[in-house]
Structure 1
Amino acid sequence: MTLVVIGPVTRDLVVIGNEKSHKVGGATYFQSFVFEQFYKDYLAIVNCDDENLVSDFPDLSKVKVIKKDNTHFFINYYPFEDNLDIRKQLSNFADISILPSDLEGILPEKIDAFVINPLNRQDFPIETMEYLKSFNVPIFISVQGFLRVPGMKDNENYAIKLDNFDDLSSILSGVHVIFMDEGEASIVGCEFDVCEMVITNGSNGSRIIGDGEIKIDAVKCVDVVDTTGCGDTYMAAYISQKLLSKSTESAGKFASKIAGEKIKNSGPYFSND
């Protein structure tokens, strides 16, 4: 049985204050490092136009590339070095949808669950979501990408705006767990036909809504280096524990700890233990 993690790999420009760095990114990229440590039976499926982008993944034998004619590009700008909860994002809004025909023939025979990581609204059309639901396994989804639409153009890229849309309830209906932050929750609300909602709030922790609501404190970190991918890291750590039959509260606390460790270093999560 295999956990299948699907979503674009990206070219990223990270700007913190006056410091700039070019990196590989995307939720599936950041999550693969967490799964490599805590749930090794996974397969990462990414879409892009440059297969060399996957060379930084922790285990190339666990990566498959859907070749497209473009790649997502993101600029993550943190204007205040002492407050990395504040971020401005720009994107090229690449239109490189993942279709059922892209996935046929590359999915493993037996699947534990899907992790779905859209980076904009085009990545996972309704027909793709219906195809994935037909496997009747748990689906974990990051909501953020479905809400992203182009805002004001800035040179060759667009500022990212978040907006609800009519098909979102249909896309999310029946999935196992959805992940979003408090800003996204304020846009779409919390009334979805799902088992759990995990709502993060940066350094203020997170809350998990299922049968009731559980508040998870953030692990305090004095030396914050890089918060890009922190939410993706939290999501992967949480999923890894839920698939190992840990309790919701235990999974949330574990995810908070791993996310707290990730932000101490630049780039994806690496275990010091």
Structure 2
Amino acid sequence: MTLVVIGPATKDLIVIGDESSQKIGGATYYQSFVFEEFYKDYLAIVNCGDDSLICDFPNLDKVNVISKDNTHYFINKYPFKDNLDIREQVSNFAQIPILKSDLESVLPDKIDAFVLNPLNRYDFPKETVEYLKTFNVPIFISVQGFLRVPDGEVNENYTIRLDGNDELKDIFRGVQAIFLDEEEANIMCLDFDVDEIVVTNASHGSRIIADGEIKIDAVMCDDVVDTTGCGDTYMAAYISQRLLLKSPKNSGDFASEIASHKIRYDGPYKMKK
């Protein structure tokens, strides 16, 4: 089964306490490392204005680039080294939407599922999502980008405010699963026509709303190094198991374990030794 994972590659500045580092980021980037290990038949499609950002992807043969005139830029600031659940974030809010016309030339002939990873609400216009629904395959969506709007300006970037919008019910209607965190869930009603809603809560675990609600315990880690991309890692690990017909509970437990392994190392998921 060919899994098509779509979303921006980003330039990130990670600040932990008084230490900072420049990195490649974006949900599709972090997820590619998980799929490369656990679901090898995938294709990553990324939109950005700098093709060099794909150089660090785990398998360049599985990346297609949609060239745009700008690139997403994020500053992820963790003010407390001993509590990496707390993050302050700003972005340039690049307006580089992925359009139907962009995808028609880069999609493979055979597609068995989509993963959509918007980083702001400009990335996936409603018309693009509706086009992807015509393939009649499972669609998995990260909610966070659809809720992000620019707030106050900070040195030519913008702080991020979360806000729902009236189109979300239509955008999510009929998809396999949506993924969001508890902060995002708290600002919106979870009354969507989807098969599964996966809500993560960092070190407090996660819950899956399918037939009832399933609680997934976090796999605790005493040596936390880097939590950036942890939610993206969880999402990819969960999807990899659901596509292998594992249950939501088993998929959630597996995703929790993989996310716990990821935060022990700097950068994206690294294969367990």
The normalised TM-score by structure 1 is 0.99
Which residues in structure 2 correspond to 1:238-253 (within 5 Å)? 238-253=238-253
Which residue is 2:58 aligned to?
A: 58
Within the alignment, does 1:28 sit opposite 2:28 as a pair? yes
Q: Aligned-pair distance for 1:180?
A: 0.3
Within the alignment, does 1:269 sit opposite 2:269 as a pair? yes
Residue type of the alignment partner of 2:198: V
Q: Could you list the structure 1 runs, at least 4 aligned residues long, displaced by more than 3 angstroms after superposition.
A: none
Residue type of the alignment partner of 1:43: L
Q: For residues 48 and 208 of structure 1, what CA distance do their matches in structure 2 show?
A: 32
Which residue is 1:210 aligned to?
A: 210
Q: For residues 193 and 185 of structure 1, what CA distance do their matches in structure 2 show?
A: 15
Which residue is 2:233 aligned to?
A: 233
Which residue is 1:74 aligned to?
A: 74
Within the alignment, does 1:195 sit opposite 2:195 as a pair? yes
Q: Aligned-pair distance for 1:123?
A: 0.2
Q: Aligned-pair distance for 1:188?
A: 1.2
Q: For residues 189 and 239 of structure 1, what CA distance do their matches in structure 2 show?
A: 23
**Cα deviation per residue 1:152-202 (whole Å; 9 max; x = unaligned)?**
000110000000111111111111000000111111121000000000000
Q: For residues 34 and 112 of structure 1, what CA distance do their matches in structure 2 show?
A: 18
Which residues in structure 2 correspond to 1:1-273 (within 5 Å)? 1-273=1-273
Residue type of the alignment partner of 2:246: K
Residue type of the alignment partner of 1:234: Y
The normalised TM-score by structure 2 is 0.99
Percent identity between the two aligned chains = 70
**Cα deviation per residue 1:113-165 (whole Å; 9 max; x = unaligned)?**
00000000000001100000000000000000000000100011000000011
Q: Aligned-pair distance for 1:105?
A: 2.1
Residue type of the alignment partner of 2:115: V
Q: Which runs of 5+ in 2 are unaligned?
A: none
Q: For residues 59 and 129 of structure 2, what CA distance do their matches in structure 1 show?
A: 27
Q: Residue 135 of structure 1 aligns to a residue in which SS?
A: coil
Q: For residues 8 and 106 of structure 1, what CA distance do their matches in structure 2 show?
A: 15
Q: Aligned-pair distance for 1:272?
A: 2.3
Q: For residues 2 and 108 of structure 1, what CA distance do their matches in structure 2 show?
A: 8
Residue type of the alignment partner of 1:262: K
Q: For residues 225 and 38 of structure 1, what CA distance do their matches in structure 2 show?
A: 23
Q: Which runs of 5+ in 1 are unaligned?
A: none
Q: For residues 209 and 39 of structure 1, what CA distance do their matches in structure 2 show?
A: 24
Q: For residues 207 and 144 of structure 2, what CA distance do their matches in structure 1 show?
A: 16
Q: Residue 34 of structure 1 aligns to a residue in which SS?
A: helix
Q: For residues 229 and 205 of structure 1, what CA distance do their matches in structure 2 show?
A: 15
Q: For residues 34 and 146 of structure 2, what CA distance do their matches in structure 1 show?
A: 23
Q: For residues 248 and 272 of structure 1, what CA distance do their matches in structure 2 show?
A: 23
Q: For residues 162 and 55 of structure 2, what CA distance do their matches in structure 1 show?
A: 31
How big is the alpha-carbon RMSD for the aligned residues of Structure 1 and Structure 2? Answer: 0.5
Q: Residue 98 of structure 2 aligns to a residue in which SS?
A: coil
Q: For residues 18 and 169 of structure 1, what CA distance do their matches in structure 2 show?
A: 41
